[in-house]
Structure 1
Amino acid sequence: MSAGGEHLKDEGTRRQVVLAGGIAGLISRFCIAPLDVAKIRLQLQIHSLSDPASHAHVTGPVYKGTVSTIKTIIREEGITGLWKGNIPAELMYVCYGAIQFTTYRSTTQLLAQLDRFRAPPPVESFISGALAGGVATASTYPLDLLRTRFAAQGSGEHRIYGSLLSSVRDIARHEGGRGFFRGCNAAVGQIVPYMGLFFATYETLRPVFASVSHSDVLPLPAGAGDAAAGMFASVLAKTGVFPLDLVRKRLQVQGPTRVLYVHRNIPEYRGVFRTVALIYKTHGVRGLYRGLTVSLFKAAPASAVTMWTYERALKLLQDYEVGVGIE
């Protein structure tokens, strides 16, 4: 997408953007679900891997690395364990994608109307991306919390929630409406700079990769430039705000079910700053980046798939509506 006012027609109609965003979220989520489950398990693991004494009496699995975590989940919970929480996650990604791209498009168009008072394109992209991420995250947060709790629970007799409906009823009954928004402050605090950096970087790199992919020096498949720009933008942005993502996951599993997940020794955390301080005090800076490797493994392909699918879906919808005469 372009921040330039002269290219607004290429952004598509609101209907096209909503559909393309939803399709991009749906496909992206299914592809990266196993990495997402592995990331959540590693983020919730508090014992030190370098100190065997710290997990000598831990009840539950001890995960060591991305591949090892995936293998352990398959061995102990079956292949379906890698898609735990996929139903609320799919709902979240579809809604998130539709809201995110719609908000981004609308904000970009509003900023373009400032004429001579307009900010530079990277700044416009940062503002539009930050607002889009904040609105989409707050709107879909309960689904994000449910996704985390399903991914964190065990199988068989160790399951906490039997279904999506029962989980909603249980949280509402025992934790109230606020229970669905545990860690929301950390989520919004993370996603605003993340999406701002992501879209600013994406919009800057996209034309560069596009020119390379169309050159004779390094010809690439159609859409490869969008995917590459999305991947690089995601890695940069994710690394910068990762501690808040970890804090969000720790806060999401607080409440009466805290000691019932796969990791039974999750401490009680209260508030974003207190959680950051406690993690730093007990595990240092490395503790704030636990699960970063798998997060980058997940974020890079997820963003590449999302942006490639979005751009392709939007183009197909535009061509289809032009062909059938829809205005």
Structure 2
Amino acid sequence: MSPPASDTKPTRDEGTRTQVLLAGACAGLISRFCIAPLDVLKIRLQLQYHSLADPLSGPVRRPPSGVLRLARDIFRHEGITGFWKGNIPAEGLYLSYGATQFLAYRSANQVLEGMEESANVKLPGAVRSFVSGAVAGTAATTMTYPLDLLRTRFAAQGTEQVYAGLLASLRDITRLEGPKGFFRGLPAGIAQIIPNMGLFFAFYEGFKPLAADIHLPFGSGDAVAGISASILSKSAVFPLDTVRKRLQIQGPTRGKYIGGSRMPAYERGVVGTISMIMRKEGWRGLYRGLSVSLIKAAPASAVTMWTYEQALHLLQSMDEEREVS
């Protein structure tokens, strides 16, 4: 059974492909703007290098390690706009990532439903969600990765300017690093997707019975199970996110970023980078910025899903009114 065309109704009442695409893009756009300051703080923390052997060495002013101290430092030296550094490529990232993710998730669900009908089998809902989520996350990560890399590099710029602007960054990376330069750290990004989805659903299904009788003003035990599963799954795969950020600023401009002149070159891939961080910085080096990431996750997910649902309902209403008229 082939997926339905873009102007037909899907198997489940989730909107047409065009509606899902527009709603997902809108959700990603608004969500990114709201959580941009937290994202900059997280990236700066992940890129801080603290050697166990000589933590105070290096001629460069050492950035503050605490979240509040780092925020004050950014505001003092870079102004309020410092919290939105990299926002242009990040808006493009969240817009295209949100659209691609929702569209790929919906399409994967429909393909699985067609396979179930053909084989006359019924997959558990958690299995279907896991497979669809993994496919959607992998597709969205790969398609939008150059924007993710640009977001990281701009957010990692301090008072020293590395790129004169977005177009200049595209030109300089292409000239100095080639097309591969836009995909530094992609294996670490993709490696996050499947374990993150798998662990989330494993934790969620485990916590759901335990939290079934919990009743809270903002929701039922499902919300508690979901939040708990999200915290644990994100914490488990966070080292891969740190590795991705460290690899994204590698290359000829590495020494110009915040802490870049102190950071060693990582040339042995994902596993080699993890090993080097553990050896030189200890396990804490893999988890810098985790607290900000967890704080960011709740509002980001809430804004994304609320905006997506509202935009989808609005688009559906507009189409229904157009059909009636």
Q: TM-score range by the shorter chain?
A: 0.7 to 0.9
Q: CA deviation at 1:204?
A: 10
Q: CA deviation at 1:75?
A: 0.8
Q: CA deviation at 1:118?
A: 3.0
1:104 corresponds to which residue? 105
SS where residue 55 of structure 2 aligns? helix
In the TM superposition, what whole-angstrom CA distance separates every residue of 1:213-234 from its partner, at most 9, and x where no partner exists? xxxx75659xx99998875554
Q: CA deviation at 1:187?
A: 0.6
In the alignment, structure 1 residue 45 sits paired with structure 2 residue 48: yes
2:316 corresponds to which residue? 318
SS where residue 10 of structure 1 aligns? coil
Q: CA deviation at 1:237?
A: 2.7
2:81 corresponds to which residue? 80
Please say if residues 226 and 307 of structure 1, whose CA atoms lie closer than 8 Å, have aligned partners that are also in contact: no
2:279 corresponds to which residue? 281
Q: List gaps (5 residues or longer) in structure 2.
A: 1-9
1:256 corresponds to which residue? 252
Q: Which amino acid letter does the alignment assign opposite residue 111 of structure 1?
A: L
* Identity over aligned pairs, percent: 58
In the TM superposition, what whole-angstrom CA distance separates every residue of 1:41-97 from its partner, at most 9, and x where no partner exists? 10010116xx79512535134222222211111111100000000000000100000
Residue 126 (structure 1) aligned to one of 123, 127, 130? 130
In the alignment, structure 1 residue 178 sits paired with structure 2 residue 175: no
Q: List gaps (5 residues or longer) in structure 1.
A: 1-6
Larger helix percent: 1
User: Aligned pair in 2 of structure 1 residues 19, 290: CA closer, same or farther (>3 Å)?
Assistant: same
Show the 5 A alignment for 1:75-224. 75-113=76-114, 114-115=116-117, 116-155=120-159, 158-198=160-200, 220=218
In the TM superposition, what whole-angstrom CA distance separates every residue of 1:256-293 from its partner, at most 9, and x where no partner exists? 01111121211100211100111111222222111111
Residue 293 (structure 1) aligned to one of 291, 294, 306? 291
Q: TM-score, normalised by structure 1?
A: 0.85
Q: TM-score, normalised by structure 2?
A: 0.86
Please say if residues 227 and 304 of structure 1, whose CA atoms lie closer than 8 Å, have aligned partners that are also in contact: no
User: Aligned pair in 2 of structure 1 residues 87, 232: CA closer, same or farther (>3 Å)?
Assistant: farther
1:302 corresponds to which residue? 300
Q: CA deviation at 1:193?
A: 2.6
Distance 1:11 1:322 in 2: 14
Show the 5 A alignment for 1:207-246. 220=218, 234-246=230-242
Distance 1:309 1:187 in 2: 25
Please say if residues 227 and 305 of structure 1, whose CA atoms lie closer than 8 Å, have aligned partners that are also in contact: no
SS where residue 282 of structure 2 aligns? helix
Distance 1:265 1:188 in 2: 27
Equivalent residue pairs, number: 309
Deviates more, 1:84-93 or 1:112-121: 112-121
Please say if residues 92 and 143 of structure 1, whose CA atoms lie closer than 8 Å, have aligned partners that are also in contact: yes
Q: RMSD in angstroms over aligned alpha carbons?
A: 3.0
